[in-house]
Amino acid sequence: MLTPQTPLKNISKIVPKYAELLEKLELKTIEDLLFYFPFRYDDFSKIVPISPDYFGQTVTVEGKVIKTKLARIFRRKMSIAEIIIADENKLPLKAVWFNQPFVLESLKEGTSVRLSGKMEKQGKYFFMNSPAWERATRDATNTGRLVPVYSETRGLTSKWLRWQIKPLLEIARQPEDVIPFEIRKKYNLYDIYTALLQIHFPENQEKLLRAQKRFAFQEMFLVQIKALQVRNAWENSKAINIKFDEKLIKDFVGKLPFKLTDAQRKASFEILKDLEKEKPMNRLLNGDVGSGKTIVAAIASLQAMSAGTQVALMAPTEVLAKQHFESFKKYFSDSNFKIALLTNSYKQINDAEENRSKLLEEIKFGKINLVIGTHAVIQKDVKFKNLALVIIDEQHRFGVNQRAYLQQETMSIKDGKIRTIPHFLTMTATPIPRTLAIAFFGSLDISVLDEMPKNRKPIITKIISPTGRKEIYNFIAKEITAGRQAFAILPLIEESKALTEVKAAVTEHKKLIATFPQFKIGLLHGKIKSDEKEKIMREFKNKKIDILVSTSVIEVGIDVPNATAMIIEDADRFGLSQLHQFRGRVGRGEHQSYCFLFSSSDSAKTTERLQALADFNDGFKIAEKDLALRGPGQFFGTIQSGLPDIAMENLTNVKLIKFARLEAKEILSQDPELKKHPALQNALQKFQEKIHLE
C-alpha cells in the first residue's frame, strides 16, 4: 500500500530516469512530491466555441482532428507538426508545434482534442501557436482549467508532474492533519486533502486562494511554535546577572566626541536592564545604516567587562571584524581592558600580534576581556573562563541557519560557568519591517535605532539615464580634485557566475582608468584573496586610491568617511534595501555626499522602485517600499530563510501571523511537548531540518 512516506522510486509509473531527476529537486517521497507546489497557474478556464469573438484571448477550444501534417525543414534541422480541428460550428482551427513531431502520434485524424492557448487569425484559419493540449476524453488536467506550472529541471516538464501528482492526491487523505480540527474550524481553513487538491488543481481562483491561505497559516504556525519553544528554553536558562553601573556608563558616554541619539540611549538602557536579569538576554538591535549600532554594543560590552566577565563579538567577514577591533580599541583606549582579534588571518591582543595557542590560553584563563572575530571565535578549541555576553553583528550576512547555529553554540560554549549561558545580542543593519520582525524574530526582544546622528547630512540620490553619464563623470572628477573619494559599484551576479562578475569588474576598472587617467583607480571583487582585499581597503582608507571599483562585497560595513560619491551601475538589478546598504558607504563624514543610480531600463516599475531611494533616506521606509514592490521572498531571500514561497508571500498579512502566534501559544500552554499532537510534532521536526529561527 502506498503511503506519504513511500519512496518515489518505488512507484511503477516513475522509471529510474525520472526518479533521479526528481531527486535533483530533492523530491524523494510521495509527500515531497505532493508538497512541491506550483509557482504560477495558466488560466485556461475559459472554454469557448471557435469564433472571431475571442481573437487575441487565451481560451480553450474543443474539436475533432480533421487533418494532420508533419513538415521537416532539413536546412534548419526543424520539424513542424500541424493539425486542423473543427468544432460543432464546423469552423476550422489550425494548431502548430515546433520540434514536437510526437504530438501527431497522439492526435490522429478523428481524435477529439482540447487545445488551450491564444486564438489568432491566420489566412482562412483560426490559429494557435504551440497550444497546451490533451485528448477531450481525459479529465481536464493540462487544459480547460487553472493549470499549475511547476519549477522544472531539464527532462522534467510541468505536464509530466501534473500527470504524476493527480493520482497520488488520494494518499493525502491518510495522514492526520498538522493543524488541529478546532483551529481549522475557527479560521475556516481547508483540511490537508482539500488544500492539496485545490493548490495543485484549483477549481477556481477563490478556492486556490483558500488553499494558499491554509498553507501560509500552517508555515507561520510552525514558525511561531518553534520560536516560542526556543524562547521558553532560553527563558528557562540562567545567565550571569550584571548590575547596571549608572555612573560608569554616564562617565563613558560623557567623554564620547559625539552626542548619543535618543534611540541609542533607549536601546542602550533596554540592553543594560536585560543584563541585570538572571534570564539571558535575547535581543535584536535593528538599526539603519549609520544609525550607530557599534557604540550601543560598546556600552553593553563596557558594562559586562567592568563586572569582570568576558565578551565575544562576531562579524561575518574579516574586514568587518578588523574594523570593530579598531573601533573598540579607540573607545576603550584609556582603560586597561585587553581586547583580542581572532580570525583565520589575524591573531592579536591590543596592538601586538600573537600566536594562536598563546591567545587561546589567555582567553581560557580570563585574561582577555573582549574577543572580536569571525566564526573562528566559536571553534571547538576556543574556551572562555566566564563569557557573559555574545554580540553578533550579522550585517544580514549570517543567514538564518548560521544565526541559529551561533545561538546554539553560544548556549554550549566552553567556559567556567557550567550553570549559565551568555546574554545574546544580534545586530542587523537591514531595517526589518515590523511584519517580518514579528514573523522571523518571534523569540527575540527588539530594540530599534530609527534615528540618525544629528550631524549626518542626507545623501543626495539621483537616477541617471545613459545620456547623463558624462555629466556625472565630470562631477566626480571635481569631487576628487577637491580631495574626496568615490565608489563605483557593479551589480551582484549569482555565485555560479562569479567569473562573469570578475570579468565585469575588470572591464569597468579598465574603462574608468581610461576615463580618469589622472586618478588612482582600485579594484575589489569576490575572487581577490582576503589579505589583498585588506590591503586595497587600507589604501582606499588612507587616500591612496581615488575611485574604488567594487562588486557587491563592498556592502558589508566599510567605513571611509572621505568617500562622498558613489555610482551604482545597472541599479535596477539590485533590491532597494541592498541599494540602501551600498549608499550607506558614503555620507559617513562631514561633507555632502551623493549617490548616482545608473539604469538603462525605462520601465515604469523600475523608475518607481529607484525613485523611492531618491525620495527617502530612511531605511525603514525603504524596506517597507521594497517589501510592497518585490514581496517578502525577494526582500529576505527565500534561500536564506528556508520558508516556502507561499509563506513568504503571506508575510505581509499581519493578521495571519498574529492568529498563528496566538494559536501556537495556546497549544503550547496545554501541551508543551506536543505529546497529544503527534502530527504537529512530526511536522515541526521536519520543519526544523529545513529552517532555523532565533
Q: Is residue 184 part of a domain?
A: no
Backbone angles phi, psi at 62, to 5 degrees: -130, 140
Which cell numbers hold the place of 541? Answer: 582608507
Q: pLDDT (tens digit, 9 = 90+) per residue, 406-450?
A: 555 555 555 555 677 889 898 887 777 666 666 666 667 888 887
Residues 257, 395, single domain; the answer is yes
pLDDT, residue 381, reads: 80
Residues 393, 474, single domain; the answer is no
Residues 533, 608, single domain; the answer is yes
Residue 204's identity, in one-letter code, is N
Q: Is residue 31 part of a domain?
A: no
Q: Provide block-wise average pLDDT over 10 residues at a time, the chain (694 residues).
A: 88 89 88 89 93 92 94 86 91 93 92 95 89 92 92 86 92 86 94 94 93 88 83 81 94 92 94 93 83 92 95 85 90 92 83 83 92 82 87 62 50 60 84 67 76 80 89 94 91 49 74 90 80 82 90 66 90 80 83 90 80 84 74 47 53 75 92 89 76 46
Q: Is residue 368 part of a domain?
A: yes
Burial class for 505, CB neighbours closer than 10 Å (0-12, 13-18, 19+): buried
Residues 417, 544, single domain; the answer is no
Q: Is residue 336 part of a domain?
A: yes
Residues 495, 390, single domain; the answer is no
pLDDT, residue 613, reads: 85
Residues 488, 423, single domain; the answer is no
Q: Is residue 74 part of a domain?
A: yes
Which cell numbers hold the place of 292? Answer: 550607530
Q: Is residue 272 part of a domain?
A: yes
pLDDT, residue 408, reads: 53
Residues 305, 418, single domain; the answer is yes
Q: Which domain holds residue 513?
A: 460-616
Q: Is residue 689 part of a domain?
A: no
How far from 569 is each of 356, 491, 511, 517, CA to CA, in Å?
Answer: 42, 6, 13, 20
Distant-in-sequence, close-in-space partners of 254: CB < 8 Å, separation ≥ 6: none
pLDDT, residue 160, reads: 92
Residues 385, 304, single domain; the answer is yes
pLDDT, residue 580, reads: 85
**Residue at a domain's end among 81, 116, 144:** 144
Q: pLDDT (tens digit, 9 = 90+) per residue, 231-254?
A: 787 778 888 899 999 999 999 999
Residues 254, 352, single domain; the answer is yes
**Residue at a domain's end among 599, 616, 633:** 616
Backbone angles phi, psi at 156, to 5 degrees: -130, 105
Residue 151's identity, in one-letter code, is S
How far from 431 is each of 625, 656, 692, CA to CA, in Å?
Answer: 12, 22, 20
pLDDT, residue 426, reads: 87
Residues 491, 344, single domain; the answer is no
> CA-to-CA distance for 595 and 289, rounded, in angstroms?
15
Q: Which residues of 194-222 are buried (b: 16+ CB within 10 A; e: fewer)?
A: bbbbbbbbbeeeebbebbbbbbbbbbbbb
Domain count along the chain: 3
Q: Which residues pair with 42 in a beta bridge?
A: 147
pLDDT, residue 640, reads: 39
Q: Is residue 552 part of a domain?
A: yes
Residues 611, 515, single domain; the answer is yes
Query: Domain with 406 in it: what CATH number?
Result: 3.40.50.300
**Residue at a domain's end among 144, 177, 196:** 144
> CA-to-CA distance for 368 and 336, rounded, in angstroms?
11
Query: Domain with 85 in it: what CATH number?
Result: 2.40.50.140
Residues 333, 419, single domain; the answer is yes
